[in-house]
Chain A
Amino acid sequence: MNRSEIKQKLEEKFSCYKFSDDPDNPEGIIIQPDALLDVAKYLVNDIDLAFNFLNFVTAIDRGSKFEVVYMLSSIPLKHRVLLKVAVPREVPEIESVTTIWPTANWHEREAYDLFGIKFLNHPDLRRIMMPDGWEGHPLRKDYVHENMVHLPDMG
């Protein structure tokens, strides 16, 4: 099942939410933040979709917003899809999908650690890579640190 079929199936099921193709990725579908949990439950439970494997959760800094990315695979049906959810930079909050895919636990902790995205209802949301007392979220584009020096241009 390819992206257009999956998208069509989602649009038939959830007429109240908007789905659009991701221009950056041939497998990507952009969904609304409030649709995430409903869509995720549908994707894992529907017999024609059966996305029972979450490859990863990560995030992208787009300046004014963050994109939270969910890569999903179906082991029995051998197809996959990329979900993208845009969250505003001022209030970077999104529902956790740990209850649906337990893999998401540490992946969401990583996205929280490096991007500062708060995953609501996460069982254990604390830093996973940086030391506990670390200030800031290093993979944000506006992050600065005293150790980050730039060498002069040698070219």
Chain B
Amino acid sequence: MGVIEKAPVYLEKVPGGSIAVTTLDWAFNSAKSSSMWYVLFGLACCAIEGLMAAGSPRFDLDRFGIFHRGSPRQCDLMIVAGTVTLKMAERVKTLYHQMPEPKYVIAMGGCAINGGPFYYDSYSVLKGVDKVIPVDVYVPGCPPRPEALYYGIIKLREKIMHESIKKAPEEKSEPLRDKAEA
């Protein structure tokens, strides 16, 4: 799916070098999906498994071209890893709005998906981060293995490869439901 594997297929010899002919969608989507930098959003134990272990040399997220950045303004991907409290939900939303388009969100672990196995009856925990920001991929687990996170990232890349510039961009900035402000 990466550019390197597919590039020879599109290369055509011309005098003085070679040219590649492809669709604009494919070029755009490759650029979008090949080096997603993610914003560090470790909120609970998922951060240890998903962000620290997955980013470590043993599992090595870097081979996908995926690096963590400290600032949301440099990021394309937000991996929400952990329990989102109501107080934190406003910050999640603020940081999401600070990311430049195109931007994607992975909800990692049970807590970020729907409040989790421990906090389902808590007064202070948001029942799923999709109540404040739109989520592209859900990675279940408590916490998920780094391999599960990779599977989610690969699924997200597949999703990006099916996007088209012809279609009007979805209105992603406004979430469907917003319980944190209510």
Binding site for B on A (CB under 8 A): 129-131, 138, 143, 145, 147-151
Contacts and interface: CB of A to CB of B under 8 A. Distances in A.
A148 B87 contact: no
A147 B120 CA distance: 8
Contacts of B123: 138, 143, 145, 147-148
B111 to A, nearest CB: 14
A127 to B, nearest CB: 10
Given A130-B124, A147-B122, 12 more contacts: A129-B87, A130-B87, A131-B86, A131-B87, A138-B124, A145-B123, A147-B125, A147-B127, A148-B122, A148-B123, A150-B121, A151-B121
Nearest to A146: B123
A144 to B, nearest CB: 9
List the 4 shortest-distance A-B pairs measured between CB atoms, nearest first: A145-B123, A131-B87, A148-B121, A149-B121
A145 B127 CA distance: 14
A147 B85 CA distance: 12
Interface residues of B, number: 9
Interface string B83-119: 0001100000000000000000000000000000000
A147 B121 contact: yes
Contacts of A151: 120-121
Interface of B: 86-87, 120-125, 127
A147 to B, nearest CB: 5
| Interface SS majority for chain A | loop
Nearest to B120: A149
Contacts of B127: 147
A143 B123 CA distance: 10
A143 B124 CA distance: 13
Contacts of A131: 86-87
A143 to B, nearest CB: 8
A109 to B, nearest CB: 15
13 contacts: A129-B87, A131-B86, A138-B123, A138-B124, A145-B123, A147-B121, A147-B122, A147-B123, A147-B127, A148-B121, A148-B122, A148-B123, A151-B120
Contacts of A138: 123-124
A12 to B, nearest CB: 47
Contacts of A149: 120-121
Nearest to B125: A147
A145 B87 CA distance: 16
Nearest to A148: B121
